[in-house]
Structure 1
Amino acid sequence: MDLGFTDRKVLVTGGASGIGLACARAFRAEGARVVALDRARGPADVDTVLADVTDEPGLAEAVTTAVRRLGGLDVVVGCAGISGPVGTPLVDTSAADLAAVLAVNVTGQLLLAKHTYPHLATGGAIVFLASDSAFVATPGMAPYCASKGAVVALTRALAVELDRVRVNCVCPSVVDTPMARADLGDEAIDHADFPVQRVEDVARQVLFLAGPHARPVNGQALLSDFGFSARSSFPA
Structure 2
Amino acid sequence: MRLDLAGKAVLVTGAASGIGLACARAFLAEGAQVGLVDRESVPVLEGDVMAVRADVTDEPKLAAAIATVARRFGGLDVVVGCAGISGPVGTPLAETTVEDFASVLAVNVTGQFLLAKHARPWLSPGASVVFLASDSAFVCAPGMVPYCASKGAVVALTRALSVELDGVRVNCVCPSVVDTPMARGDLGPVLDDPAFPVQAAEDVAQHVLYLASARSRTVDGQAVLADFGVSARSGFPA
TM-score with structure 1 length normalisation?
Answer: 0.98
* Identical residues among aligned pairs (%): 70
What's the counterpart of residue 74 of structure 1? 77
What's the counterpart of residue 43 of structure 1? 43
What's the counterpart of residue 10 of structure 2? 10
Paired residue type of 1:13 = T
Query: Any conservation in 1 of the 2:136–2:151 contact (CA below 8 Å)?
Result: yes
- Say which of 209, 213, 217 aligns to 2:219: 217
Give 1:230 shift: 0.5
Give 1:111 shift: 0.3
Determine the C-alpha separation between the residues in 1 that align with 2:73 and 2:40: 20
Normalized per residue, the structure richer in strand is 2
Give 1:110 shift: 0.3
Query: Any conservation in 2 of the 1:16–1:48 contact (CA below 8 Å)?
Result: no
1:126-153 CA-to-partner distances (Å, cap 9, x unmatched) read 0000000000001000100000000000
Give 1:188 shift: 0.6
What's the counterpart of residue 200 of structure 2? 198
Which stretches of structure 1, 4 residues or more, deviate above 3 A after TM superposition? Answer: none
CA RMSD of aligned residues (A): 0.7
Determine the C-alpha separation between the residues in 2 that align with 1:29 and 1:154: 29
1:26-62 CA-to-partner distances (Å, cap 9, x unmatched) read 0000010001100011111163100000000111111
Query: Any conservation in 2 of the 1:171–1:221 contact (CA below 8 Å)?
Result: yes
Q: Does residue 23 of the first structure (1) align with residue 23 of the second (2)? A: yes
Query: Any conservation in 1 of the 2:50–2:69 contact (CA below 8 Å)?
Result: no
Give 1:2 shift: 2.0
Determine the C-alpha separation between the residues in 2 that align with 1:2 and 1:216: 16
What's the counterpart of residue 149 of structure 2? 146
SS of corresponding position for 1:101:
helix
Q: Does residue 131 of the first structure (1) align with residue 125 of the second (2)? A: no
Aligned pairs, number: 235
